[in-house]
Chain A
């Protein structure tokens, strides 16, 4: 059963260029989805709509069969969908532990340790960590939120090949072992190869790649 759905979603750039043309799709928990497509094709826009960062110009975004606008987009972002960004988007005056604590009242150290961040690293300033470590913290923050859907926008875009593979493994683990629905927008074919379902966004249409 799908956890998220988009129905006939439409979106324009600059009120004239249609980037999402009446697209529909369903996303299930426990699976990792990869959305592929060239730059500017609307991958980030689609993730923004799924995550409630923006509203579609037409159509609906449903979470567990309910329109996400019903309870409010902030509610959706807080309880249903969590983001992982290419540039990590962590608050720079906080430690990794404090960044994770932003989304959860549970102690942040267990989840950070599970993602390979030591106790000592968890208490450093976030800017003193490497890119891979920062992305692990961002993933920890997403997981700590208890959201059913994790939306990752180019999560390995700023990382070297080895670290990118490690992050891909973590995301796969999130989907398969933690039963999250992980939707990844990426250019990287290596990451797409780890996905259970690959979707291609081209000329405003979303096509499932067999």
Chain B
């Protein structure tokens, strides 16, 4: 009689043990499935994020040692940058570099405006420095779509469109602010700037959400996320045209197609003749990716550790269970060895028994694992990666192959470890002890 038939007979005749083994293996499988599913989801989300955020290189004016002597003005002392400027000509040549996908200006709090025909979400203190009430800050940008908050998914455009480089006097406001003032896309938002002492009229081109949950410790209008907004770069240049003698970018973000190749592109840009000897600073920016991916990286590490712990604990539990059962099967092993059955054949029988039950329990565990993985994934993502990204837990073929491979390895280790001490004995010793 071959080992497969013996294994089949054992599983069928020893139903209680088979059922216990089935349940234990199913429990192990559910834990393992959950952990692997979350790990794969975290890996996939990180990869997606890398693609979505992309690599970034920052080109800015180098103010260190290039500021002119201090001059007295009516409102105080200031010095003016006298180094090289990042002109459109330089930006155009950078755009031609292989691997560069575009560029953007994103100056946070580049413009402060008080609402002339609308009101900001109120603060507890109601501080007011302008004739039109409090000012709130706006991010000045060429393309709002490429701004950090939109790339990371923190903000989402819910109505209208993004600000583009061709826009003039366009703005994006939050849904909270729009609802508060009953403003819609296409409406005009008039703002007073204390810095330029002028009123500018912006067209609301888009409305975004993601600002809910305003800070409870808001002292100024800008402390409330719902009051923050975006305006186009051209209007800023126009509002402050008296203060800019030349058109240049102080701080430019250059986008790279492949984040992994950002260093290569950086080297190419550094070597551009237009940049040689210029007082401009070029740096690789990974802050945003790091910000978004670090909670996920923590989650990945947590899950990796969980997989190791689940594997080790499962192997121990399985080994312990099989060891107890194999001790009870010493006589059977002795009999098989006494009739000339090889040790490898006996081991194969035990492996087949466990493997057959495991295949069934693993298959049965898939729907349960799927369910627990989704719930655990959602919970862990909310704990570890709050605001960073959502985790899409799903089971595909590759994932199941991983799971089955780990399971088979675990079973092999457990069966060999549990049967080893018995199989090392001579058949005579086993049978003598049995007698």
Contact = CB atoms under 8 A, between A and B. Distances in A.
Interface of A: 44, 48, 51, 53-54, 74-79, 82-83, 85-87, 89-94, 98, 101-103, 141, 145
A85 B431 contact: yes
Interface string B409-435: 000000000000000001110011011
A131 to B, nearest CB: 15
Contacts of B431: 53, 85, 89
A86 B336 contact: no
12 contacts: A51-B338, A53-B426, A53-B427, A53-B428, A54-B426, A74-B337, A75-B340, A79-B340, A89-B334, A89-B338, A89-B434, A93-B13
Interface residues of B, number: 25
Interface of B: 1, 6, 9-10, 13-14, 331-332, 334-343, 426-428, 431-432, 434-435
B281 to A, nearest CB: 78
Contacts of B13: 93-94
B14 A89 contact: no
A89 B432 CA distance: 11
A91 B332 contact: yes
Contacts of B334: 89
Given A85-B431, A87-B434, A91-B332, A102 B426 contact: no
A91 B427 contact: no
A98 B1 contact: yes
Contacts of B426: 53-54
Contacts of A77: 337-340, 427
Contacts of A44: 432
Interface hub of A48, A53, A79, A145 (most chain B Cβ within 10 A): A53
B428 A54 contact: yes
A82 B339 contact: yes
Given A54-B428, A89-B331, A93-B14, A78 B341 contact: yes
B159 to A, nearest CB: 72
A89 B335 contact: yes
A68 B324 CA distance: 34
Contact of B342 (A54, A74, A101, A102): A74
A93 B1 CA distance: 14
A102 B1 contact: yes
B427 A94 contact: no
A54 B13 CA distance: 32
Contacts of A92: 332
B428 A102 contact: no
Contacts of A93: 9-10, 13-14
A102 B339 contact: yes
Given A53-B431, A54-B426, A90 B335 contact: yes
A51 B338 CA distance: 8
Given A54-B428, A74-B340, 8 more contacts: A85-B435, A87-B435, A91-B332, A93-B13, A93-B14, A98-B9, A102-B339, A145-B340
A94 B6 CA distance: 9
A122 to B, nearest CB: 15
Contacts of B336: 91, 102
Contacts of B343: 74
B155 to A, nearest CB: 67
